Amino acid sequence: MPVPDVMFCAQQIHVPPELPNIMKQFTKAAIRTQPRDILQWSYGYFSALSKGEPLPVKDRVEMQVATQKNDTGLTPGLLKVLHKQLSKKETLSLQELQTKWKNLCLPVEQLHYLLRLDHFGDEVPWIKFFALGCSALCGSLMSSMKQACEILTEDPEGGAARIPYEAFAFLYSYLAGLDEEIPEAETESFLSALKEQVARKDYMVGVADFSGNRRD
């Protein structure tokens, strides 16, 4: 079949005026996030963009996944991305969590491991899963709480990393309750003392308020 005798020129190709900026922002986001699978991540990026949802984009470039503790694939930056995407719902479907996890190119084995820690079913309370994510990153209870404060805080970067006492108490109690070596009475005593300590600070807990009471 002969090739159609058609000539194209730049004037015949319509380029949407917003396309250059979209591609510029996409490229910058990919560089900051450094996804393992650029195609899978791109699907998640443009899907979220089309729905007006928070994008699967890190605030800044992190160290390579292979250098993270335990080589889980999960990083503080990725957990913060998941929090931005999923925290608006107190409880989310397992399918939605799996989709967001997959779009960040995180290993499915890690997701299954975290879900088994509390025997989650088809519905997952986000704040509990978030707590387990902090624990997976840090190991010890106090280090996990420090990580949680740094992700949840509305303080400027490098500040006190404060969060409301009630939020801190819930996360601490939940993680401590999963550790058979921490007596319930010890948890209650620690939280009671901390509550008195931060009463003069509008019940806001910062990293410095508990960092001297590590239970590693």
Question: SS3 letters for 17-30?
Answer: CCHHHHHHHHHHHH
Parallel, antiparallel, or unpaired: how do β-strands 123-125 and 91-93 relate?
Answer: antiparallel
pLDDT of residue 216: 54
pLDDT of residue 1: 56
Distance CA 173, CA 133 (A): 15
Distance CA 28, CA 105 (A): 18
DSSP state of 156: P
Q: How far from 167 is each of 65, 79, 170, 205, CA to CA, in Å? A: 29, 17, 5, 9
Domain ranges in the chain are: 63-210
* Cα radius of gyration (the chain): 22
* pLDDT profile of the chain (216 residues), mean per 10: 60 84 97 95 97 95 57 86 96 97 96 95 97 94 96 92 97 96 96 95 93 62
**What does the block give as tokens for 58?**
């890190």
pLDDT of residue 6: 60
**What does the block give as tokens for 16?**
């949407």
DSSP state of 37: S
How many Å from the N-terminal Cα to the C-terminal Cα in the chain?
75
pLDDT of residue 96: 97
Report the amino acid identity of residue 50.
S
Distance CA 155, CA 162 (A): 7
For residues 165, 167, 170, 173, the Cα torsion angle rounded to the nearest 10 degrees is -60
Beta strands in 56-140 (DSSP E): 91-93, 123-125
